[in-house]
């Protein structure tokens, strides 16, 4: 009779090795993204003072919600008004050319959309 073959070790299987490499790479990428976001927040916080940033938004805008959550989570001082709740906010939005929301007013200068790097650059960072 022949000797029974030893069972293959699961960790020696090429697909398992590939899966392990992908998992490690995914975790590393997630860590790098979090670090980059924290660096952007630190840079923006260093150059922002109360009243520098005003976000013109609307209650149904998902991008406004994302920007608000990011600014709040990273403790960046900002003001916000809603075009669908505040007539003065709507008038300002119309004066700026109705470029969509969120509209970021950075020391009185309009930026369409939310980009922490652009805001930091405009504030001198």
Nearest-angstrom CA–CA distance, 42 and 106: 17
Percent of the chain whose predicted confidence (pLDDT) is above 70: 84
Q: Is residue 19 part of a domain?
A: yes
pLDDT band of residue 111 (cuts 50, 70, 90) is: very high
- Tens of pLDDT along 18-62? 777 777 767 666 776 777 778 888 889 999 999 999 999 999 999
Q: Is residue 30 part of a domain?
A: yes
Mean pLDDT of 94-107: 93
Nearest-angstrom CA–CA distance, 48 and 10: 53
The rounded mean pLDDT for the chain is 86
Three-class SS state of 28: helix
The CATH number of whichever domain residue 62 belongs to comes to 3.40.30.10
User: Whole-model pTM?
Assistant: 0.72
Nearest-angstrom CA–CA distance, 57 and 79: 11
Torsion angles phi and psi, residue 98, rounded to 5 = 50, 65
Nearest-angstrom CA–CA distance, 71 and 44: 10
Q: Is residue 2 part of a domain?
A: no
Q: Are the C-beta atoms of 107 and 52 separated by less than 8 Å?
A: yes
Q: Is residue 113 part of a domain?
A: yes
Place of tokens 């991008």: 63
Largest alpha-carbon pair distance within the chain? 91
């Amino acid at each position: 009779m022949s000797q029974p073959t030893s069972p293959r070790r699961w960790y020696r299987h090429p697909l398992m090795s590939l899966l392990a490499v992908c998992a490690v790479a995914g975790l590393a990428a997630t860590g790098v993204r979090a670090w980059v976001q924290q660096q952007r927040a630190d840079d923006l916080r260093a150059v922002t003072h109360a009243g520098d940033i005003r976000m013109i938004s609307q209650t149904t805008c998902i991008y406004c919600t994302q920007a608000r959550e990011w600014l709040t989570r990273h403790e960046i001082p900002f003001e916000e008004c809603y075009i669908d709740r505040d007539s003065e906010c709507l008038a300002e939005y119309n004066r700026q050319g109705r470029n969509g929301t969120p509209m970021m007013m950075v020391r009185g200068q309009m930026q369409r959309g939310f980009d922490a790097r652009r805001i930091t650059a405009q504030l001198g960072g």
